[in-house]
Structure 1
Amino acid sequence: MTRSPLRGAACGAVLLAAAWASPAGAQTAANGYDLSVRNIMRGPELVGRSPDEVRWSDDGRWVYFRWRNPEARDTATHVYRVAAAGGEPQMLADSVADRVAPAMAGAWNRDRTRRAAERMGDVYVTVDGRERRITDTPTRERQPELSRDGRTVFFVSGTNLWSVPVEGGPLRQLTDIRSEAAPRPPETAGQRGALRQDQTELFDVIRDRDEERRRREQVDSLRATVRPAYIGRNMSVSSFEVSPSGRYLLLGVSERVEGAQQTSIPYWITESGYTEPVNQRNKVGDVQSVERAAILDLNTSRLAWITPDSAQTARKVSLTTLAWAPSQDRALVMGVPYDFKARWLYVAGTDGKLTMVDEVRDTAWVGGPGLYTADWISDDRIFFVSEASGYAHLYTRDLNGGAATPVTSGQWEVTDVTLTPDRRTFLITTSETHPGERALYSVPVTGGARTRITPLAGWTEATPSPDTRWLALLHSTSNTPPELYLMPNRPGARPRQVTESRTAEFRRGSWIQPEVMSFRARDGQMVYARIYRPRDVGAQPNGGGVFFVHGAGYLQDAHRGWSTYYREYMFNHLLASRGYTVMDVDYRGSSGYGAAVRTGIYRHMGGLDLTDHVDAARWMVQNEGVDPKRIGLYGGSYGGFITLMGMFTEQETFRSGAALRSVTDWSHYNHWYTSRILNLPQTDTLAYRQSSPIYFAEGLRGDLLMAHGMVDTNVHFQDIVRLSQRLIELGKTNWELAVYPVEDHGFVRADSWTDEYRRIYELFERTLRPESPPLPNGNGRE
């Protein structure tokens, strides 16, 4: 066999990726479409840019969104608007868009007659449909909210809360929050207290100083409008929310930790010509920041810390502030312990004391869609999403007594919840028709039958207008990117398509809707996957098979909507056109299938998530005629991790693989993600050892391509460097590493994408075709 120049140079060496790409993978369809690596890796330039940043005007007459019209001459996105009642989208000039378009986020008063929002660092309030500017300063004001009657707007400037009447009036500073310990009063007991007493009795000068200090403090207290509140050293306020009465402030407080060691990421291609290091995150198991909560009395500056104190929550807990009750001064707070094995909902009084109102536990870790979805329906009733049944569902709870009441149930999930302004109806997005579909339903707050609102098959995400009379939809299918639709919020209404984002070039492609199929894994679990068959794209099967492994772990890709991996979607078409059968598996740990699938990787990543691919390979052999000796896999991030584990531990299943920006040792990844699944490396060594590819590198037999950005701030470049050194010391020769000097975790440049996927394509063409050499009998050594 003649080795490619890339492979010949890569025996234990590092390759710098070239900024050019050969025409590898060029396939010209009958309609003249250029299905080549170079073309499909152009990304948005080829596909188009779908609308996003969708928001309604406060009166519900207009929808604003950011979009690139594919017929426009420039490649930039712009702000557009379209009338709910009909008409074509209108582009707003950049010079006026920030003034005309409503802010993305805002806060309504109780009867929803006024809305406060931040725009370009200043506060605005919409009154009678017209926006009124409240502040005009060089300092950024943020987190604006209105009093219940809408007459006063509160906002944060610097580290403190301020208020001003909407109709005009004096600006008031309401807090003086200081990130330091409160001053300690003079000691009056013990040796120091006795010594101080002696000094005061002996010397007139001491008594005079004390009297002067007392007079000065009295004058200062009369002059000061607000007393200082001391939250402690290394503390900073992350969120503010004023209570309905206007007297109390619900604070989210972050405690910065000392002693954490961060990884230094060098930037290699710089204007200065020198490497410029930037400190990034620390590693799992290192000291972590603490999230706390408190209630501040604005009249007295008394700070009441919210602290879970029951036996159940004695361990370290991170608190998230949610919301005040609609008209009472009590707050909804969520607590999650630092081992992530429970989630508690509390109601906090103004004294900081807690009453638990809901609890969910998981022997693995709590999670799922809607984990932080909880709010008030009325002063004595709340709603929340919980996986208590094994699937994420909507519940309500009467705080006067009784158990939580399920509003939805079944072997499907609720992924989004909106309470209508009249507080009588929930608008919920669910997967009840199929795990790979999303649609909007309405259901009474009291429970009962659900009514489907959006009729489109595929994947629909809805944004209701402020009065919920209209819906703005972002809808996609597996072969069409998201487009904006508008429809009245009523069953039977037909959506009106507003945008067409695809370029004329992309529309010429013969893009299929890959079948979303399912098979049973070895333990009986139903596993879903997308499949791309050669015959679906007009090609003959060559007997080879390829798996694309999605990233993120907890992510769903085998669905009927547009994939975030749209480059891989097109690349899978290219592979299918060359005769490969391609599958995209929602392996164990993926989202969309309930708690058992979500936590199926607890303490063993590279366990069931990997065997799901091995079982899929057997299904592919039995049902699609794939040669069991010619199967490869590729993927990035978590997908790269699975690729490595497959190549190192399932050598008889996978002939070759491409691992991109892959985790090689979980003890080097971040804390919040890894510790949920594997606990801590210092206390659960087995979980980290059995889950980290670097400990299984001896098993490499097939051909392995690794690719990594050198400025990856998520999976650090150090990960792949450590594995490369391990492969060198093991004497492995059938591997290669391509590095990308300017790329972070998510590649940006089309030339980097092209170079990376050219290498993947050439790897499979070299190892998976009928004439390719078999898997070496040795252990990957010369």
Structure 2
Amino acid sequence: MKKTVPFLFIILTSLLNAQSLQLENIMKGDEFIGNQPDNHRWSIDGNSIYFDWNPNNEVGNSTYYWNQNMDQPQLLPENEFDKSEVNASLQSDYDVIYYAKRGNLYSYNKKSKKIKKLYVSTDKIYAVERSSNPDVIFYQQNRNVYQLNVKEFSITQLTNFKTGNESVKSDKTENYLEKQQVELFQFVRDNKVKDDWYEKKYNNTKNDFPQVIFYGSESLEQLKPSPNGKFVTFRLSNYSSQKQTKIEHFITADGYTKNESARSKVSIDNLSKHKMGVYNIEKDSVYYVSFSNLSGIKEFPAYYQEYDNLKEKEKEEKPIVMINPIHNKNGDKTVFELRSLDNKDRWIVSLDLETGILTELDHQHDEAWIGGPGIPNYSFGGGTLGFLKDNETIYFQSETTGYSHLYTLNLNTKKKTQLTSGNWEVRDVSLSLDGKSFYLSTNTNHPGNREYHKLDITSKKMTAILNADGAHEVVLSPDEKKIAVRYSYKNKPWELYVADNKPNATLKQITFSTTPEFKAYNWKNPEVVTFKAEDGTNVYARLYQPKVEKKNKAAIIFVHGAGYLQNAHNYWSSYHREFMFHNLLSDLGYTILDIDYRGSDGYGRDVRTGIYRHMGGLDLLDQLDGKKYLVDNLGIEADRVGIYGGSYGGFITLMALLTKPNEFKAGAALRSVTDWAHYNHGYTSNILNFPETDSIAYRRSSPIYFAENLNDRLIMLHGMVDDNVQFQDVVRLSQRFIELGKKDWDLAVFPVEEHGFKETYSWIDEYRRILELFNKNLLDKR
């Protein structure tokens, strides 16, 4: 017995140590957690699941595969790699599919399971598409569209776009000496006759090639042939040449600093100009589409009325951008979306390619900005838009009701039907093979879920397939009988599962990614709570509570980044280091509240646009109401609350300390925006319009204008090579603090880090400073 007690003591001590979180470990991120599977997809025959994984913590991911005959996934053999690159969802109606990879043209035969390399060239091939003729495909090369008849293997160039401007030789004016030579010498006249004859006989390529379409210095984009091969649509874009910001790298291999361009800053001068052209292949002619009759295209935003120099401005067509057209299978109907570049309007239109007649199908206006799941943005396109199997009904998503829902619209009758409704969002949409149903990702049961449903189009009945709390990222098998699912829960990282595609499916786990070190700790399952904001809005938040005996009556509010992002949800957070850090803090006795403030994703239009023209307004008040919730309900002392966050979260931290002094005892602002006039165009112009037209919004939203109010303890932390929120942001605010004589602030810089830190030692140093800040300023010294 005397020997047993020390032995048990050693066992218990080692278990306790295993349960204790160390900053040095959790800041390793996925190296400590375990690298999770990603990019899951089905093989073209539906027998295997491919995915990217790194179970051995190597430098990067590799491709793994699994099928029902295997006990566990295996590394994909190198000679099978090409097959894993074939998208099983493409060209599902065909026995042979065609695709581009590494700039070359390939085919894959579903029956023989063989890949053929059809065309190899140093001039890369891309954008392979099927036509309405099963023997014809289209592809693009050197910014032109080509047609390949795979049965005859004949290639035809359909377009002849060229950069630069046309030089018309016949219009050239002869100078005096040239005229004199022709007048004086028969020899010159004879040679001219010969030259003209040869030019006409041998250099006339009109019968062999389509006419040359010169597009000058504009950017040629979105070339798309119609499936019937009769038309090619394209977009010409003129982008501003606004001055680019520069990033200076101080730690380099050769010891010299390196300067690189990053991006421009938000400005009305950044507005691009776009026009849409249609090339008629049979007539060898081009026309450009007019959008002057669109609803609201000459309407100015409401905020113009606040400015004397804008409210009487003469009406004019606002700049717009058009997004790649969608054709029905026959190629006789074409639809596409447009957005205004003031971000207030979105149109869905149909275009008769033969006549150029444009028909407005749907118009959505928002005095804040157009957005939401399934709705494309002007920078990247995307979004939900397609044809049903009848070839005359389109489906799309709209936030008209306040939440993004699914609609259909018949192009002949113009009847619009809302298929889904409620105070929840449709997150992702795919049409079933038979065209009678949609598969939907939604947050029907809880804003923090990602569920999976089947929607019958005729009855509008939704059937739950995966309905548990958490997030389900689903990929259907080619025959729709199986589903590959990436699933996670609040305290359980992403893993890969497979299931039958049926109601209330049972998931079978394929991957086991978490490390023994990660599993040794009993990770908290943070409660997702709601509290009322001052204006009555329900605000969602994750709550981490310490054990009663350890509670120190101090609290920390975490502010997630990106603005339009969700973190108070029921699945594994992209802020996984912060999740583990919050577990560590709660072990030390802190209470942590992680708030989905106004502007966050997942809660519909009113929450999304709640920050319009005033970032640091309702979003900051939500943090203060969160503090009130902690004080009123959880026994937190009002003068022992800290706040921290990165990017947008760092911005809110600064606004909290500078516009609401004495509310938070201490704050840590990571990679923070300090002046929105210095941030990028695409993000900022949505929310604050343009600094030249809405200076009020920029001044009241930028921390640098409130620097004189700093009374509470602040630390700012920033990567010096951040090409997103650039280092200049924190330098400018630091200079303001210095000039104002402020003392209660510190700046920690990280010479090799960009916006998202990469090096573990940087993460450790950053969060050590944050932990020391809160321990020093929030813990009771009495």
| TM-score computed with the length of structure 2 as normaliser | 0.89
Instruction: Give the Cα separation in 1 of the matches to 2:384 and 2:136.
Output: 28
Preserved contact between residue 393 and residue 406 of structure 1 (Cα < 8 Å): yes
Gap change, CA 1:732 and 1:28, over 3 Å in 2: farther
Are the structure 2 counterparts of residues 97 and 254 from structure 1 closer, same or farther at C-alpha, using a change threshold of 3 Å? farther
Cα gap change, 1:300 to 1:197, in 2 (>3 Å): farther
Matches within 5 A, 1:732-771: 732-771=742-781
Paired residue for 2:696? Answer: 686
The letter for the 1-side match of 2:256 is: Y
1:494 corresponds in structure 2 to 506
Which one-letter code corresponds to 2:387 in the other structure? W
**Would the aligned equivalents of 2:224 and 2:325 in 1 still touch at CA under 8 Å?**
no
**Per-residue deviation at 1:586?**
0.4
**Could you tell me which residue of structure 1 aligns to residue 409 of structure 2?**
397
1:446-473: per-residue Cα shift (whole Å, max 9, x none)? 3421001114321111111222221111
Matching of residue 47 in structure 1 with residue 33 in structure 2: yes
Partner of 1:361: 365
1:310 aligns with 2:310: no
Equivalences for residues 197-346 of structure 1 within 5 A: 209=192, 212-213=195-196, 215-222=198-205, 225-258=208-241, 260-285=242-267, 286-310=269-293, 312-313=296-297, 314-346=317-349
Q: Per chain length, whose mean CA-contact separation is higher, i.e. which structure has more relative contact order (CA < 8 Å, sep 6+)?
A: 1
**1:21 — aligned with what?**
none
Give yes or no for contact 1:315–1:337 (8 Å, CA) kept in 2: yes
The answer to whether the Cα contact below 8 Å between 1:639 and 1:662 also exists between their aligned partners in 2 is yes
Percentage identity across aligned positions?
39
**Structure 1: 5+ residue runs without aligned partners?**
1-26, 773-782
User: Which residue of 43, 55, 67 maps to 1:83?
Assistant: 67
Distance 1:246 1:591 in 2: 41
TM-superposed CA distance for 1:367, in Å, is 0.2
Structure 2 equivalent of residue 146 of structure 1: 130
The corresponding residue for 1:176 is 160
Q: Give the secondary structure class of the aligned counterpart of 1:148.
A: coil
Query: Which amino acid in structure 2 is aligned with residue 642 of structure 1?
Result: I
Partner residue of 2:101 out of 105, 112, 119: 119
- The match for 1:59 is 45
Could you tell me which residue of structure 2 aligns to residue 374 of structure 1? 385
Identify unmatched segments of 5+ residues in structure 2: 1-12, 298-316, 376-382
Partner residue in 2 for 1:20: none
Closer/same/farther in 2, CA of residues 549 and 671 from structure 1, 3 Å limit: same
Does the C-alpha gap of structure 1 residues 509 and 104 become closer, same or farther in structure 2, counting only changes over 3 Å? farther
Give the AA of the match of 1:448: K
Alpha-carbon contact 1:656-1:704 (below 8 Å) kept: yes
Are 2:469 and 1:457 aligned?
yes
How far is 1:623 from its partner?
0.5
The one of 165, 182, 188 aligned to 2:149: 165
Does 1:720 find its partner at 2:724? no
Matched, 1:444 2:456: yes
Once the two structures are superposed, the pairs formed by residues 466-477 of structure 1 within 5 Å of their partners are: 466-477=478-489
Please identify, of 367-376 and 80-89, the stretch whose mean Cα deviation from structure 2 is larger. 80-89
The alpha-carbon deviation at position 491 of structure 1 amounts to 1.0
- Cα distance change on mapping 1:187 and 1:128 into 2, 3 Å: same
Corresponding residue SS for 1:705:
strand
Matches of 2:178 and 2:436, distance apart in 1: 67
Match of 1:701 among 699, 702, 711: 711
Quick one: structure 1 residues 397 and 199, their matched pair in 2 at CA, closer, same or farther if it must change by over 3 Å? farther
Separation in structure 1 between the aligned mates of residue 569 and residue 398 of structure 2, nearest angstrom:
23
Q: CA separation of 1:235/1:497 partners in 2, compared to 1, >3 Å: closer, same or farther?
A: same
CA distance in 2, matches of 1:202, 1:376: 66
Deviation at 1:195, TM superposition (A): 11
Deviations 1:65-105 (A, max 9, x none): 01122xx4746422111125764312114x33532313358
Amino acid at match of 2:749: V
RMSD between aligned alpha carbons? 2.6
Match of 2:640 among 624, 630, 640: 630
Aligned partner of 1:640: which letter?
G
SS in 2 for 1:531: strand
Q: Which amino acid letter does the alignment assign opposite residue 467 of structure 1?
A: D
- Rate the CA distance shift 1:425–1:85 in 2: closer, same or farther, 3 A: farther
Report how far residue 309 of structure 1 moved.
1.7
Do the aligned partners of residues 305 and 579 (structure 1) sit closer, same or farther apart at CA in structure 2, a change above 3 Å counting? same
2:571 is the counterpart of 1:571? no
Q: Deviations over 1:624-674 (max 9, x none)?
A: 111100111111110010000001011121111111111000000111110
Taking a change above 3 Å as real, the CA distance of residues 413 and 149 of structure 1, as seen in their structure-2 partners, is: same
Matching residue's letter, 1:368: G
Cα distance, 1:168 vs structure 2 = 6.1
Q: Describe how 1:455-534 pairs up with structure 2 within 5 A.
A: 455-534=467-546
Provide closer, same or farther for how the CA distance between residues 596 and 210 of structure 1 changes in structure 2, counting only shifts above 3 A.
farther
How far off its partner does 1:612 sit? 0.4
Q: Give, in whole Å, the separation in 2 of the partners of 1:433 and 1:497.
A: 24
For residues 408 and 240 of structure 1, the distance between their equivalents in structure 2, rounded to whole angstroms, comes to 33
Give the C-alpha shift of residue 696 in structure 1.
Answer: 0.5
State the distance in 2 between where 1:224 and 1:106 align: 39
Change (3 A) 1:161 1:541: same
Residue 30 of structure 1 aligns to a residue whose secondary structure is: helix
Counterpart of 1:641 in 2: which secondary structure? helix
Residue deviations 1:305-363, cap 9 Å, x none?
33412153231101111411211333221110010101101112225442111111101
Deviation at 1:267, TM superposition (A): 1.6
Residues 44 and 86, structure 2, Cα contact 8 Å, conserved in 1: no
Conserved? CA contact 2:361–2:414, under 8 Å: no
Contact map agreement 2:496 2:511 (CA 8 A) in 1: yes
Matched, 1:128 2:110: yes
Q: Structure 1 pair 717/75, CA: closer, same or farther in 2 (3 Å)?
A: closer
Letter in 1 for 2:35: R
> 1:140 touches 1:157 (CA, 8 Å); kept in 2?
yes
> Matches of 1:512 and 1:528 in 2, distance apart?
18
Query: TM-score scaled by structure 1?
Result: 0.89
Cα contact 1:227–1:300 (8 A) shared by 2? no
Task: Determine whether 1:613 maps to 2:599.
Answer: no
SS of structure 2 residue aligned to 1:648: helix
**Residue 427 to residue 229, structure 1, CA distance change in 2 (3 Å):** farther
Other-structure match for 1:664: 674
Q: Residue 372 of structure 2 aligns to which amino acid in structure 1?
A: G
Aligned-pair distance for 1:229? Answer: 3.6
Distance 1:301 1:220 in 2: 18
2-side partners of 1:229 and 1:106: how far apart? 36
4+ residue runs of structure 1 moved beyond 6 angstroms? Answer: 192-204
**Cα-to-partner distance string for 1:206-235 (whole Å, 9 max, x where unaligned):** 797488347514532347632344252222
The answer on whether the counterparts of 1:713 and 1:745 sit within 8 Å (CA) in structure 2 is yes
Cα deviations by residue, 1:80-137 (Å, 9 ceiling, x for unpaired)? 11125764312114x335323133587417x343333232332222223423222223
Which residue matches 1:409? 421
Cα 1:299–1:37 change in 2 (3 A) is same
**Counterparts of 2:33 and 2:397 in 1: how far apart (Å)?**
36
Asked if structure 2 preserves the Cα contact closer than 8 Å seen for 1:394 and 1:408, the reply is yes
Distance 1:549-1:720 versus aligned 2 partners, 3 A rule: same
Give 1:775's aligned residue. none
Aligned pair count reads 736
**Comparing 219-228 with 542-551, which one deviates more in the overlay?**
219-228
> How many angstroms apart in 1 are the aligned matches of 2:189 and 2:546?
94
> Which secondary structure does the structure 2 equivalent of 1:552 belong to?
coil
Distance 1:424 1:576, change over 3 A: same
Q: Distance in 2 between matches of 1:199 and 1:404?
A: 72
SS in 2 for 1:294: strand
> In 2, distance between residues paired with 1:585 and 1:288?
34
